[in-house]
Chain A
């Protein structure tokens, strides 16, 4: 069976990236460019397609960073991915920002266990742990948003690689929660990259997890924000 042709887009964090694979070649673009994501993504897409010598019509699906991360950032990638997928009548596959960073730790460091935390502002982190299964990172339980001093201790049986800006903002607080038994190896990985969404998405496409463009859901994870209802409304 021929490999799928997938185009991945992510702008959930300060880093924005686009990646393409057909199972053989891998073409990527990306840079850390807060507030410039909307400017950069479509030119990147055009660039990547040109280098691959294909058009959008050749794609089997669009892959998109579904969050968590910056609300606006996630929506920029989601809007562009939805428009591209709808225009070609091809499905969308969402991949978590936390899983993508874990996959990056596997790619760069051979990590088997990853603890991921993104600074979510307001004194909280987006948090999750991933374990490698057959070369793909799999989220253990649900990704959550919480105060860094409330995360659970890590299982002592694994060597845990840390990824994400949560470890830049709260290194000591998080380390203290992981427990004295935990074996923790820091990495320089701060942001997800579209490249690492491709292997996860390839498997999801095979497993029938792709959705129609209009059925795609952003995973904000933080759903209770600072807005307040009028008195007496529930």
Chain B
């Protein structure tokens, strides 16, 4: 059910006009040159319906991914499920449809303001979103435990959700986005999240994309960081047939931005990651570290751009992308870019693409460990550096288990 609110209706109408012109992004656009979306158009997905009840298998699947010690906002096929969800009290967290009606004065002025480079997917999502989450944390307040926003796809259909998170001055929160679907189901999920961090606010956001191996996924995260705001993102791209993840952040004076990512592709998976960090004002710090492991015929894309505006003196920025190719048919397209207009800055970037180290494999073999096991140990260790950064225990367990399933015996529980 779409809410009938005039400001939102106007916005949806404008987005529709734009989407009719752009359609889904084409490879002629530089940001999309490595990712061909024609398969999505060909699928001609219908929109998902709201399901009334779902069976035990679905419930169990969902339960496997609901994290302990977290609040839960559950979206089934894009629709907010109030019964399955547990939201914090005393803090404004509600569905975006509800917020459009009841928090219009807060939501309307910011909506769409963090999206600096709109494209077909952001237009599409603005036109068609069925619901989403709205979080607004007052100044000096914090969320006492993480909020998990869990997206569960059950139908062979497409769904879109739209989310807005606002942290007022000195507010603090941890959010977890989880994307899952019924195994072997074909679907398209599109999710657009805007985040507004006021002065000294601190947000840690995890994204675990664990969609079905036939799913198409788009997830865009667009952040505005006011002075001295901290944003930390951990992006795990594990599932999906074709998945595109975008994280873009705009940094004001003294803001700090840390982007970590891990993409694990196998079979014919295509995992595309685009990040952009814009240092708009002086003294901001950014750290970006993405790692990828690609096996079989999987393809990974990393496009990381750091922009340092003319005013952004004393910027401190590091970007690193390391890739492990486990098969001669696997492919990585990596493109780190620095765009610097200021003169007093410290910016570094590095990229590596390689195979497992033969000397390390032999060392393990010489201790009695067979070659396959040795490779799993080394691959697991490469990926685990990113998993180890997760500080929410239940989430750490969940991702660690997924990693262990990919590389059995790669480590001890």
Q: Do A and B come from one complex?
A: no
Chain B residues with CB under 8 Å of chain A are none
Chain A residues with CB under 8 Å of chain B are none
